[in-house]
Structure 1
Amino acid sequence: MLEVVNLTKRYGGLTAVNDVSAQFRKGHISAIIGPNGAGKTTFFNLIAGAVAPTQGRILLNGEDITGMRADQVAVRGVARTFQSTHLFDSATVMDNLIVGHRLRTRSGLWDVILGSARLRTEETLCRRKAEESLEFVGLSHIADRLAGDISQEERKRVAVALALATDPQLLLLDEPAGGINPEETVSLARLIRKLAEHGKTVCLIEHKMDMIMSLADHIVVLNYGAKIADGPPDKVRANPLVIEAYLGADYAQA
């Protein structure tokens, strides 16, 4: 589904992503791991269109999306969550989610001014999609609560629901389990597996290795911006370069 070829991003003398090539299969769960500063978030930013690559290509379902803007990439089915979950805290959870499906609508300023039938139809569609997304992540019961009043774990799930409301094919999840406890992490891993079971392709950045090793079908390891390994979890955890750069001998022998 997604292929990156010789992807590179330089900021002056700093190479944040260095000649990375990788493939991510449709319907699979892939993970990007590596030490802090390895280039993982920059890699996501390149795929999502937040920044343009210095060189290399990004192919989504065979289409070259290299250098496209973030909104153009989103329309093609790529949704992104962030390490820090930012919501409109003074709005309800439902109102936060209704925004998500707007990229699939066509009504504009004149529709708003005239109160057009198209606007009313699309507003109904956006609300329905928000309700479906919230139900999928198991949070229908908090739809009318203010986003600022929900827990950290609920915020993580709302972020996934917001991504789902855009009708994505590929979800890029940046540290979805960051800041939540072990029990919540297990529950969130079940949600991620559920996404794949419903035909979504998932790629996540995460530092919780027990979660990654039990969840991911495929792992790409970055270090200093370069890919040092990729493959299934068993292969990656036994790779000497990965052990030295990131996992450590104690984890590899566990």
Structure 2
Amino acid sequence: MLEIHRLTKRFGGLAAVREVSTTIEPGSIHAIIGPNGAGKTTLFNLISGALRPTSGRIVYEGRDVAGLRADQMAALGVARTFQTTALFDRATVLDNLIVGHRLRTRSGLWDALLRTRRLREEEKRCRHQAEQALDFVGLSHAAHRMAGDLSQEERKRVAFALALATQPKLVLLDEPAGGVNPEETAGLAALIRKMRDSGLTVCLIEHKMDMIMRLADKIVVLNYGEKIAEGRPTEIRRHPQVIEAYLGRDDTHGIQEVADAAA
């Protein structure tokens, strides 16, 4: 579904992402891990169109999309969430999701002023899509609550639903389990599997290694902007460069103990 070829992003003399290549297969869960400052979110920003690459190629469904804007990437079917979930806190959950589906509508100012048939039909479709997304993430009961009243875990689920409301094919999740407890983390992991099982392709950044080792089909490890390892969880948890990057020494106890516990 997605091919990344020697992707580089420089900010002045700093290479935040350097010559990274990988592929994301359709219907898979692909994880990107690495220490803080490794370039993970920058890579997401490049894929989603928030940043333009300095060099390299991003091929999505056979089309070179490097340099397209975020709205253009979203229109092609690439959705993303962020580490901090930004919502319209004084609007209902359902209204937040209806805004998300506006990506797929075509009515404009004159339709709104004249209340045209196209506008009315699109509003109906937006509402239906928003309700479906809420049902998928298990928050139908919260549709008419104010977004500002949600718990952190509920806000994470609304972020998933916002991505789903755009009718994506590829979903990029940036630390989807950040700030939630272990029980809530397990619930969000189950929701990610449900997304994969429904036909979506998922790529996520996450620091919770036990979650990643249970969830991912393939893992890419970044350090100082470079890819240092790629493979299945069983391969990554014993990779010496990964252990060195996380622990700063040749010790197999930290990351491997967490990964073995998840196995």
TM norm structure 2? 0.95
Measured on the aligned residues, the alpha-carbon RMSD in Å equals 0.8
2:256 maps to 1:252: yes
Aligned match of 1:183: 183
Structure 2: stretches of 5+ with no match in the other structure: none
2:34 maps to 1:34: yes
TM-superposed CA distance for 1:201, in Å, is: 0.2
TM-superposed CA distance for 1:37, in Å, is: 0.1
Q: Which runs of 4+ in 1 moved over 6 A?
A: none
Give the Cα separation in 2 of the matches to 1:64 and 1:124. 34
Structure 1: stretches of 5+ with no match in the other structure: none
Total equivalences in the alignment = 254
TM-superposed CA distance for 1:246, in Å, is: 1.6
Give the Cα separation in 1 of the matches to 2:104 and 2:146. 25
SS of the equivalent of 2:185 reads helix
Summarize the alignment of residues 55-70 of structure 1 with structure 2, pairs less than 5 Å apart: 55-70=55-70
Give the Cα separation in 2 of the matches to 1:49 and 1:21. 17
Give the Cα separation in 2 of the matches to 1:27 and 1:107. 32
Aligned match of 1:101: 101
Aligned match of 1:131: 131
2:122 maps to 1:119: no
Q: Name the aligned partner's letter for residue 29 of structure 1.
A: I
TM-superposed CA distance for 1:193, in Å, is: 0.3
SS of the equivalent of 1:6 reads strand
Indicate conservation of the 8 Å contact 2:238/2:252, yes or no.
no
TM-superposed CA distance for 1:100, in Å, is: 1.0
Deviations 1:13-66 (A, max 9, x none): 110000000000000000000000000000000000000000000011111111
Give the Cα separation in 2 of the matches to 1:62 and 1:237. 32
SS of the equivalent of 2:31 reads strand
Give the Cα separation in 1 of the matches to 2:246 and 2:134. 36
Q: Percent identity?
A: 68
Give the Cα separation in 1 of the matches to 2:124 and 2:5. 41
Give the Cα separation in 2 of the matches to 1:59 and 1:111. 36
Aligned match of 2:92: 92
Aligned match of 2:16: 16
Give the Cα separation in 2 of the matches to 1:229 and 1:114. 57
Q: Name the aligned partner's letter for residue 69 of structure 1.
A: R
TM-superposed CA distance for 1:249, in Å, is: 2.3
Q: Name the aligned partner's letter for residue 196 of structure 1.
A: R
Q: Name the aligned partner's letter for residue 43 of structure 1.
A: L
Aligned match of 1:227: 227
2:171 maps to 1:171: yes
Q: Name the aligned partner's letter for residue 103 of structure 1.
A: L
Give the Cα separation in 1 of the matches to 2:160 and 2:97. 10
Summarize the alignment of residues 146-161 of structure 1 with structure 2, pairs less than 5 Å apart: 146-161=146-161
TM-superposed CA distance for 1:228, in Å, is: 0.3
TM norm structure 1? 0.99
Indicate conservation of the 8 Å contact 2:59/2:65, yes or no.
yes
Indicate conservation of the 8 Å contact 2:94/2:143, yes or no.
yes
Indicate conservation of the 8 Å contact 2:34/2:223, yes or no.
yes
